[in-house]
Structure 1
Amino acid sequence: MTRSIPPARDSRTAVDKAMSLLSAFGDDAYIGVGVSELARRSSLSKSTAFRLLATLQENGAVERAGNNYRLGKMIQDLGATQEDALQGRMRDALTPFLADLYVLSKQTVHLAVLQGTDVVYLNKLYGHLQVRSPSRIGGRAPGYCTAVGKVLLAYNPDAAEQAMASGMLSWTPSTITSPARLRTELLEVRRTNLAYDREEILTGLNCIAAPVFGTNGRPVAALSVSGPVGKFVPESQATSLRKVCYAASRAVAAVSGQQHQTRRQLAQSA
């Protein structure tokens, strides 16, 4: 008769298990991972992983993303994206236009750029209609389920295909997870230069975004206006958003032209 061997007892402390669970997010930290997969990666039972996640969620270390979990505000703030020189210049150059957009809309406005397949929020001004939002200055979010991300992915086919190939998780019941459907929407974004997030990253939040173009005809950033469902109609901000982004694009072109002229003068005097 073969005697079954009981599984080895996990001698790790609760803190060790929690740290292992947090480390298990890996590259999916901002996108979301299911309980079963986190348990597998951290060599924990599903029940133990679920119990630890509940505790971590209570303390802001993780948060729910649909049926999955992602790192929460506390952890994300500790590891916020370090701004490089180009992003710093972009933030400084475009923040005045973000302020113009806020004055016109009185709603929460964002300035974002694309990094890989994610968006990085360079600045944010809070509007009169307060709404819970996953965006934070220096934070990241998947591009496929945000308005600013769709605007930027629409002009970057390689990044868009990479986002679709990596698997688009459902953050809310409204999140677009079909590559075919997202391709269709990105084509419409290219046609209108407007993108929408209709409760796709967070239930109760709507958003509209438009591109800020560089001299090469591709967006260098995106501006957006967001507000709570039922009180905010994204389409109502289309005209103001287009106006501000047009002015911002002209400013970017002027700065680029001045830099090109300066480089040419330096080269001639050398």
Structure 2
Amino acid sequence: MSLSPVQQRDDRTAVDKAMSLLNAFGQDSVGGVGVSELARRADLSKSTAFRLLGMLQRNGAVERAGNAYRLGKMILSLGDTQESAAHGRMRDVLTPYLADLYELTKQTVHLAVLQGTDVIYLNKLYGHLQVRSPSRIGGMAPAYCTAVGKVLLAFDPASADEALRSEMSAWTPHTITDPEALRIELATIRKEHVGFDREEILMGLNCIAAPVMGPGGKPVAALSISGPTGKFIPDSQSEVLRKVCYAASRAVAAVSARQRQQLRHAQTA
């Protein structure tokens, strides 16, 4: 009987094995992968994979996501930004309102857009109440377990259906992984125009988000306020968040109107 790759003598160095583990994440670098699956992909024993993941975690290359692992900030910061030209224009239009939100709350605030079933953070301003957070400018996160993501999914039926059909990993004990429970929450968000992340992507982190509406009544982005559990009460920020998002929505409408006018002038010139 022939031996499997993990049963044979493995002459790879520790660095080689660590690199194999990092490459094994593939498309699951954000959503997370379990130790057993990573070990299988990297042709390592589970015990070796677990030991190396511990080393990589201590150095910021990976981080825990519930019972799984995902790439950490150190690795993600080396990659190219996910921002497109359109995202850059949206960031330029909405950053002044993100700054307004920060000035009114003094909390950490985010500007994000939806891409498929993930969110991309276009901007972030840090508040006075510092808290560890997986978000970074240009970075991505699953929409189903973030406040900005759920707000955007609530008004995007196609992306919501895709998210509900996909596997939702439990990043924390509070992550909503039941499709029906998420469907109910998205329906509530559509009525109230605010969404919450109550320690769903990271323990100790709470967040409230609201949509920035574009022409046609569909969100083009979302703004959020976040802070540490116990010190930050998301519900208390709903009124100021709605006001800033309303002003931001008017700005988006004005920019869209100017663009349409410029297009008409160009066509008749």
Partner of 1:91: 91
In the alignment, the residues of structure 2 paired with residue 221 and residue 89 of structure 1 have an alpha-carbon distance, to the nearest angstrom, of 12
Partner of 1:232: 232
**Structure 2 counterparts to residues 63-78 of structure 1, below 5 A:** 63-78=63-78
Structure 1 runs (4+) deviating above 6 angstroms are none
**Structure 2 counterparts to residues 37-116 of structure 1, below 5 A:** 37-116=37-116
Partner of 1:257: 257
Partner of 1:119: 119
**Structure 2 counterparts to residues 137-148 of structure 1, below 5 A:** 137-148=137-148
Query: How far apart are 1:8 and its partner, in Å?
Result: 2.2
Q: Is the 8 A contact 1:30 1:140 kept in 2?
A: yes
Code of the aligned partner of 1:247: A
In the alignment, the residues of structure 2 paired with residue 208 and residue 5 of structure 1 have an alpha-carbon distance, to the nearest angstrom, of 55
Q: Is the 8 A contact 1:28 1:70 kept in 2?
A: yes
TM-score of the aligned structures, taking structure 2 as reference length: 0.97
Q: Is the 8 A contact 2:206 2:228 kept in 1?
A: yes
Paired residues in the alignment total: 266
Matched, 1:211 2:211: yes
RMSD in angstroms over aligned alpha carbons?
1.1
1:8-36 alpha-carbon deviations (Å, 9 max, x no partner): 21222222211111111011101111000
Query: How far apart are 1:162 and its partner, in Å?
Result: 1.4
Q: Is the 8 A contact 1:210 1:224 kept in 2?
A: yes
Q: Is the 8 A contact 1:81 1:140 kept in 2?
A: no
1:189-220 alpha-carbon deviations (Å, 9 max, x no partner): 00110000000001111100000011121000
Partner of 2:8: 8
Query: How far apart are 1:80 and its partner, in Å?
Result: 4.3
- Aligned-partner SS, 1:10: coil
1:73-101 alpha-carbon deviations (Å, 9 max, x no partner): 10010114242110000000000000111
Partner of 2:192: 192
- Aligned-partner SS, 1:132: coil
In the alignment, the residues of structure 2 paired with residue 69 and residue 249 of structure 1 have an alpha-carbon distance, to the nearest angstrom, of 37
- Aligned-partner SS, 1:78: coil
In the alignment, the residues of structure 2 paired with residue 31 and residue 206 of structure 1 have an alpha-carbon distance, to the nearest angstrom, of 19
Q: Is the 8 A contact 2:113 2:122 kept in 1?
A: yes
Partner of 2:243: 243
Query: How far apart are 1:158 and its partner, in Å?
Result: 1.5
Q: Is the 8 A contact 2:211 2:222 kept in 1?
A: yes
Partner of 2:180: 180
Judged with a 3 Å threshold, the aligned counterparts in structure 2 of structure 1 residues 50 and 264 are, in CA distance, closer, same or farther, namely same
In the alignment, the residues of structure 2 paired with residue 5 and residue 86 of structure 1 have an alpha-carbon distance, to the nearest angstrom, of 54
In the alignment, the residues of structure 2 paired with residue 233 and residue 51 of structure 1 have an alpha-carbon distance, to the nearest angstrom, of 38
In the alignment, the residues of structure 2 paired with residue 64 and residue 228 of structure 1 have an alpha-carbon distance, to the nearest angstrom, of 19
- Aligned-partner SS, 2:77: helix
In the alignment, the residues of structure 1 paired with residue 160 and residue 40 of structure 2 have an alpha-carbon distance, to the nearest angstrom, of 29
Q: Is the 8 A contact 1:80 1:139 kept in 2?
A: no
1:162-196 alpha-carbon deviations (Å, 9 max, x no partner): 12222000010000000000000000000110000
Query: How far apart are 1:45 and its partner, in Å?
Result: 0.6
Matched, 1:22 2:22: yes
Q: Is the 8 A contact 2:83 2:120 kept in 1?
A: no
Matched, 1:202 2:202: yes
